[in-house]
Amino acid sequence: MRGRNHPGWWAFLVHRISGIALALFLPLHFWALGQALEAAAKLEAFLRWTDQPLFHIGMWGLVVLLAAHLAGGLRVLALEFLPWRDWHKTLAAVAAAFALAAGLAFALAL
């Protein structure tokens, strides 16, 4: 179980979990967009429901997931296409810092 303490393994895990969570979010997103197509009253009711503080926390989590998945994907691309160096731990740290910075920027903008 030595490999599970490696930063690369954790970066892999975060990338996979964020991808699965985003894939599970997409049907809800498409449903909300469908509300806009059906009737203005349904969309307005949905938008009023989204003003709850818990929903804002969920939006923050979504931004962090998106940033984590983006940064993890860029890390994988760097590992694939750039010359091999002993910097994969640094790439994992940069990906995590990017995701947290994006989440913090979004939280401050709320």
pLDDT for residue 110: 67
Read out DSSP for 49-108? HTTSHHHHHHHHHHHHHHHHHHHHHHHHHHHHHSPP-S-HHHHHHHHHHHHHHHHHHHHH
CA 110/CA 2 separation, integer angstroms: 41
pLDDT for residue 56: 87
CA 19/CA 6 separation, integer angstroms: 20
Mean pLDDT of the region 29-46: 82
Mean pLDDT of the region 75-85: 81
pLDDT for residue 3: 66
Domain 2-109 in CATH 3.40.640.10? no
Mean pLDDT of the region 66-82: 87
Q: What is the pLDDT of residues 88-107, one digit of tens each?
A: 778 888 888 988 899 899 88
Which pTM was predicted? 0.73
